[in-house]
Chain A
Amino acid sequence: MSATPWPLTVLIGDDDPMIRDVLREVLEAEPDLDVVAVACDAGESIRLAERHAPAVVILDVRMSGGGAHAAREILRRLPGTRVMAFSAYGDPGVVAEMNRAGVVEYILKGVPNTEIVAAVRRLAAPG
């Protein structure tokens, strides 16, 4: 991969409206991040990802349609996109399921905002 394009484009998929809104605000407060779309289920996440080809997709794990399904489909259609889980569940079974779907970054809801931002940047970094 060449140098990361600027700003870094991000898609959010989460079924909780409060989380969607605040996550968007947290990311947009960073000058190098640009939230290009917000989806509320797996189907919409896949459609909007195809349309915007974001650098990073942040997916809720338990949203309707399933975070793992959305991750698998997005990674199949957009091999250059990176997917990160943003989940309220940290038990090994759920983490393993997302891993199998190709998700390499797994962030638990409730971590400080700075960690979320750092994870997005880490994920999009070349190499």
Chain B
Amino acid sequence: MPDAEFFDESGRPRGFGGVRTGWNTAEQALRESEERFRLLVQSVVDYAIFMLDPAGRIASWNAGAQRIKGYAAEEAIGRHFSVFYPPEDVASGKPGRELETAVVEGRLEDEGWRVRKDGTRFWANVVITALFDESGRLRGFGKVTRDMTERRTAERALDERGRLLSHLVHAQELERRRIAWNVHDDTIQSMVAVGMRLQLMADRLPGEHAAAMRRLNDAVDASITRLRGLTFRLHPPGIDRGGLVEGLSGYLDQVSGEAGLTYELQHDLVREPSPEAAIMIFRICQEALVNVGKHARAKAVTVSLTSADHGVLVRVADDGVGIDRPLDALSPSEHFGLIDMRERAETAGGWWRIHGRPGAGTTVEFWVPALAYGEEGIPL
């Protein structure tokens, strides 16, 4: 006799029956589990976790992705993921290669610079996992990205390479300063004395000899001016006393006068960068400004310094003729200047780029970490 509690008068089970009830619970549990998982992925802020469709277009987004990359979900979804790569990587086809590698090897891990929505860069650890269904068909990619900028900067400050760089910059600047001091305090002083004496002689000698003395004095004067320019470029005096902004503004005063440029120096630095970073930034700006003077035919240049990601983001933008050729078609001397700037920034653990269109000016943009070293290259 069936138990009256579970069966009705006609003998049919009351309720929904044991088997059916059990299936329903499992489905609900699965749905809840998926919901919890979706919430977890969506809410994680330390990692950008999102999916790409097989063509590389963004198919999902989470809070971490928004935080790290700066795009809201509705801005990101549907875009191609190459939007996160620096222009030089896009040009070399890196995003596509990374997907191909992930397909062949199942996953790909990479560390490198990526670009936020506002154009600033961060040092990313990226894992791309290819996702296949049971039939082996590629359904898309899972992408997990971490912002490692802070850790990288800290590690670079501690590692051997950072110490070596610090020593190198220090030694180079010391040598330049020594040369500048010698030229300034010895050679130029003597030439000033010679010039003064030539003027005295011109005042005392009769006509034609006086004229010869004055011409000699003019030649000495011109040499003094050139030597002063040299010592200034070797070691700008303001940077020791007043720091980066004063050094740069003194340099801009001088070069803008020579090149007939107007300039604007915008700065928004939370603190003065370390001496190594300051001199690095100064030197790259110097090279960029030399290029503006030589090639840009610009009327105005804007230099901006902003604290960003434990470093300094710098832009040197002119309103000149822009770049009318691919970079590799530049003359060796032009090209050398660009390589020099890029190497300086990259050796310091930062990045550098140049962009511009014909007729629309050129912008040199770079970021260097605010390395801080004390005596003996020990990080502060």
- B-binding residues in A (CB < 8 A): 16, 18-19, 21-23, 25-26, 29, 62, 88-89, 91-94, 109-110, 112-113
Contacts and interface: CB of A to CB of B under 8 A. Distances in A.
B242 interface: yes
Contacts of A92: 238, 242, 246, 250
Contact of A18 (B184, B190, B203, B242): B190
B253 to A, nearest CB: 9
Interface in B294-340: none
A91 B237 contact: yes
A62 B185 contact: yes
B189 A112 contact: no
The SS class assigned to the A binding surface is helix
The SS class assigned to the B binding surface is helix
Given A92-B250, A93-B246, A110-B221, A19 B189 contact: yes
A113 B190 CA distance: 15
Nearest to A60: B189
Interface residues of B, number: 24
Contacts of A113: 196, 199-200
Contact of A88 (B185, B194, B221, B250): B185
Given A18-B189, A93-B242, A23 B196 contact: yes
A62 B246 CA distance: 20
B224 interface: yes
B238 A93 contact: yes
Interface string B160-193: 0000000000000000000000001100111011
Contacts of B200: 22, 25-26, 29, 113
A19 B189 CA distance: 7
A91 B197 CA distance: 26
A13 to B, nearest CB: 15
Of the listed residues A16, A23, A113, the one surrounded by the most CB atoms of chain B closer than 10 A to its CB is: A113
A60 B193 CA distance: 14
A88 B188 contact: yes
A93 B188 CA distance: 20
B361 interface: no
B195 interface: yes
A45 to B, nearest CB: 18
A26 B196 contact: yes
Contacts of A94: 237
Nearest to B217: A112
